[in-house]
């Protein structure tokens, strides 16, 4: 009897955690909740072109900096790379969470189906 109770607890715990994760993900992808911020603005690395273009004059360096800044700015607009990385990290976390809670629920089902040993 204790195995069946523990089995139902594991089953419902696994299902509830999976449903919570799916609900949070739905709200996050719909835009109602912010994504967990693992990769933030403080991790941005500045590109130092003075070492790369040491043989150039200052005018050429300034032109090269301006061209690269405009091209990179249009390619990666406004922290979009951070959003992509944050959503990817959340998706990986949710995949691990679903697999782990699925295993917990499976253990619960096995405990429910188990024959009592006398």
Could you tell me if residue 80 is inside a domain? yes
- Whether residue 4 contacts residue 11, with contact meaning beta carbons closer than 8 Å, is answered with no
Residue 118 lies in a domain: no
Below-70 pLDDT ranges, the chain: 41-57, 72-78, 118
Cα of first residue to Cα of last residue in the chain, in angstroms, is 12
Query: Is 76 part of any domain?
Result: yes
pLDDT in tens, 73-88: 666 666 777 888 888 9
Average pLDDT, the chain: 82
Q: Is residue 14 assigned to a domain? A: yes
- As a whole number of angstroms, the distance between CA 10 and CA 7 comes to 5
> Using the 8-state DSSP alphabet, how is residue 42 labeled?
G
Residue listed under structure tokens 């951070």: 82
Pair 16, 105: CB distance under 8 Å: no
Q: Domain limits at 16?
A: 2-113
User: Is residue 98 exposed (0-12), middle (13-18) or buried (19+ Cβ within 10 Å)?
Assistant: middle
Q: Domain tally for the chain?
A: 1
pTM of the full structure: 0.66
Structure confidence at residue 33 (pLDDT): 87
18 close to 101: Cβ distance less than 8 angstroms: yes
């Amino acid at each position: 009897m204790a195995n069946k109770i523990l089995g139902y607890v594991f089953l419902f715990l696994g299902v509830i955690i999976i449903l919570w994760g799916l609900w949070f993900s739905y709200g996050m992808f719909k835009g109602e909740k912010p994504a967990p911020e693992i990769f933030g603005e403080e991790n941005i690395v500045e590109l130092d072109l003075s070492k790369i273009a040491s043989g150039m004059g200052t005018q050429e360096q300034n032109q090269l900096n301006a061209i690269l800044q405009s091209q990179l700015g249009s390619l990666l607009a406004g922290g979009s790379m951070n959003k992509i990385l944050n959503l990817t990290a959340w998706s990986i976390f949710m995949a691990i969470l679903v697999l782990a809670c699925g295993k917990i629920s499976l253990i619960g089902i096995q405990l429910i189906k188990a024959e009592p040993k006398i």
